[in-house]
Amino acid sequence: SLVGMHFTDPNSIGGGSGDPDEPDWYALIDATNPASMYQNINLTGQPVVNGNRVGAVLDISGNGNHWRAWDDDSTRTEYKSANGGYIEISDNYHRGMAIDGTNRLVDGRKPFWVVMAIRLGGPINSHAVLMDKDYSDNAPLGDELAAAIVEEGLFCRKIVNDVPIGATVNADAITTSTWGVVSFGYDGTNLTARVNLETKGVVEDTRPLADDDGYMPLRIGGNGPSIVHYKAVGFLDYYPGSAEEVAAIEAVANIAGLTL
């Protein structure tokens, strides 16, 4: 069942810019603008036009934490110019993106928060991965952190010693024709999941993940098996206070041209 928020570390909540209404982005990605994209992971290869593979999308926060193909150039995702522009991450298990420097930011009991403007690129084939980090080569049997859309809704899940736990909320607002904003994170005590500005799902979980690099990097933009379209992604290396959270959701919606 869902429980109330229990913040045990006040330094991890709203710990960014000092302004409770302004998120201090670790990375902010505009996936609608081909001028901020490169065909190769080393930030070469422009212009990017409809149908081109994309190796990197610039971080517009100014921090230089760019969104890149996590494996190599052979797994690059694709830019689509329709519908105002978006990145398509397909049902190839090896195709996805990782934000620079995030791999160790979710280990142990480190707070983090992620927000994305997305829609489904087709029917859900088992699940649509939005974020994933495996800590062993036999995940999900090993330790894993993941967020995905399944038939039951949006969830943020943590598996520690083969025991899963996660917060889940209704995700009916996200379809193949309707864009929405999803967010999920960990405040040091609770996993959370939210769709647009609807009620947040919260579940307490104080078990730490392995504090190591893991089997794979933290992929913000999953590895299949369903297709997901992305217009914007934001990452915080802390868990925001309530006003900051709303401001961040609205900022990502604004990049995507959405009114929540």
Average pLDDT over residues 126-155: 88
Q: Count CA atoms closer than 13 A to 169's CA, side-chain side.
A: 22
pLDDT band at 200 (very low <50, low <70, confident <90, very high): very high
Bridge partners (DSSP) listed for residue 204? 190
Put simply, whether the predicted model's pTM sits higher than 0.85 gets the answer yes
Q: What DSSP element (H or E) covers 204?
A: strand 201-204
Q: Is 173 exposed, middle or buried (0-12, 13-18, 19+ CB in 10 A)?
A: middle
Token pair for 96 = 């996805």
Lowest mean pLDDT among 4-8, 24-28, 145-149, 183-187: 4-8
| pLDDT over threshold 80, residue 141 | no
Q: What is the pLDDT of residue 125?
A: 84
Contact between residue 90 and residue 121 where contact means Cβ atoms under 8 Å apart: yes
Task: Assess contact for 196 and 260: CB atoms under 8 A.
Answer: yes
**What does the pLDDT average to over 198-213?**
94
Query: In the predicted model, what is the mean pLDDT of residues 147-152?
Result: 92
